[in-house]
Amino acid sequence: MKYIIGNWKMNMLPNEAINFCIEYTENVKGVNNKLILAVPFVNMFYANNFVQDTNVQIAAQNMHFENSGAYTGEISASMLKSIGVDYCIIGHSERREYFNETNEILNKKVRQAITNSITPIFCVGENLTENESGNTKEIIRVQIEEGLKDLSNFENIDNTLIVAYEPIWAIGTGKVCDSNFANEITTHIKEVVKEIYPDLNVVTLYGGSVTSLNSNEILSKENIDGVLVGGASLKADEFTKISKF
Ligand code: PGA
């Protein structure tokens, strides 16, 4: 069983989301993978209603670190939970880069998610310079040690944390990371998280220019438990091919 998670980012109008859900849920009937779509907030209520009684689940792409209050424009974990959302992407490199989300802020978000029984899909990854200078493992260790520190209440999320390795240089660029290297880094992620939380079940994903042409090779790797797919999750037929691994 693999995790196949689509991240629509800031794409898909409600009518497009509806059409996607109709086609995709039909296509993946009986598929025995964990199928999750991270949709924009305006599509979430409808999409989540639509996928009830199917094998598809809906995730959020972001949430605030406080549970309520004067934070104009923000969405809280308890709001997500109230409409039945069980997963949230936290720490995507686009949030880190364009919205200045630091490891400290992300740590607060992860803790708030777990408090509300929302499983974080925590993203880590290095930029090209860091990759070329051989610092990938160290960068990821710091992102994990700071972003995932002082966590508790794992029973709320079935003792399972999802961590996605998304090399920044591979996101939206068409440059897919070598699958052996990706497996080496997801192995490292499991080791580092287990050093801190030995009893936790760590699900690792790879993300960055995944398509139906490379997904099978990536998903065949021992320590890659799934994929986080951006561009290729926007077309139901393409995402179906990836989902049917
Ligand atoms: P991509 O994006 O598949 O378009 O490279 C992946 C992601 O950002 O999650």
Give the position, in ligand 1's atom list, of the atom nearest the Cα of 93: 8
Those residues of the chain that have pLDDT short of 50 are: none
Residue nearest to atom 9 of ligand 1 (CA): 230
Q: Average per-residue pLDDT in the chain? A: 97
Encode 152-189: b = buried (16+ Cβ within 10 Å), e = exposed. Answer: eeeeebeeebbbbbbbbbbbeeeebbebeebbebbebb
Query: Could you read off the pLDDT of 77-110 as tens digits, one per residue?
Result: 999 999 999 999 999 999 999 999 999 999 999 9
- DSSP letters spanning the chain: --EEEEE--S---HHHHHHHHHHHHHHTTT--SEEEEE--HHHHHHHHHHTTTSSEEEEES---SSSSSS-TT---HHHHHHTT--EEEE--HHHHHHS---HHHHHHHHHHHHHTT-EEEEEE---HHHHHTT-HHHHHHHHHHHHTTT---GGGGTTEEEEEE--GGGTTSS-PPPHHHHHHHHHHHHHHHHHH-TT-EEEEEEESS--TTTHHHHHTSTT--EEEESGGGSSHHHHHHHHT-
For ligand 1, residues with CB inside 6 Å are 7, 166, 171-172, 207-210, 228-232
92 is annotated as an active-site residue: yes
Give the position, in ligand 1's atom list, of the atom nearest the Cα of 172: 5
Ligand 1 centroid, distance to 55 Cα (angstroms): 23
Q: Rg for the chain (alpha carbons), in Å?
A: 17
Give the position, in ligand 1's atom list, of the atom nearest the Cα of 228: 9
188 is annotated as an active-site residue: no
> One of 94, 101, 126, 166 is an active-site residue; which one?
166
Query: Could you read off the pLDDT of 138-164 as tens digits, one per residue?
Result: 999 999 999 999 999 999 999 999 999
Ligand 1 centroid, distance to 208 Cα (angstroms): 5
